[in-house]
Amino acid sequence: MTGKLIYLMGPSGSGKDSLLRAAREQLESMNCRIAQRVITRSAEATGEDAVAVTPVEFEEMRERGAFALHWRANGLGYGIPSEINAWLESGQHVLVNGSREFLPKALELYPGLEAVLLSVNSGVLSRRLLARGRESLGEIEARMARNSTFRHAEHGTQRALQLDNSGTLDESVKAFVSLVGDAIGSSEG
């Protein structure tokens, strides 16, 4: 039996990391593993359960096939370890924290994936980016502009399940776990 790949995406500051942390136990009880990303920024700055590597280390890993998925966004390299393929083959469901821009390529590689697009209203997004203190004002402006561009372009996201994370974390976790459960259920039925 093959597991289902769930591809979570959304703008920086939309709450993906908080959502994944809060939903982890419920997802694990559904036989759904959360893949740990590899990112070219310091572990302290990631704000997520990620492996931090230098750009040189990232390229070496990419060249030796360590990533099932990899992309660049916001000046950083992101990779999903190739071990997800073994998890999927063993029947485990896998959730990855992906990129909206990379979705078309991810769909080529994993045509059966279920995409979930996390959105948040722009006022909430701006406040969250400022509050986390990870980026400069210029970087926040660039991320807000990138989000605006993605809102007005499809990038394959029209087939994604939509989840608004502008409300409380508890509300979003409940809705997210339900979406994932439905996606997993449809792959098993």
174 assigned to a ligand binding site = no
Phi, psi torsion values for 173, nearest 5 degrees: -60, -45
17 assigned to a ligand binding site = yes
| Chain length of the chain | 189
126 assigned to a ligand binding site = no
98 assigned to a ligand binding site = no
Q: How far is CA 71 from the centre of its chain?
A: 12
Rounded CA-CA distance 49/56 in Å is 21
- DSSP annotation of 41: S
User: Could you identify the residue written with the tokens 């060249």?
Assistant: 63
| Pairing verdict, β 50-52 and 37-39 | parallel
138 assigned to a ligand binding site = no
16 assigned to a ligand binding site = yes
Rounded CA-CA distance 151/100 in Å is 10
The answer to whether the CB of 143 falls within 8 A of the CB of 101 is no
11 assigned to a ligand binding site = yes
170 assigned to a ligand binding site = no
**Which residues are annotated as part of the binding site?**
10-17
Residue numbers in the known binding site for ATP are 10-17
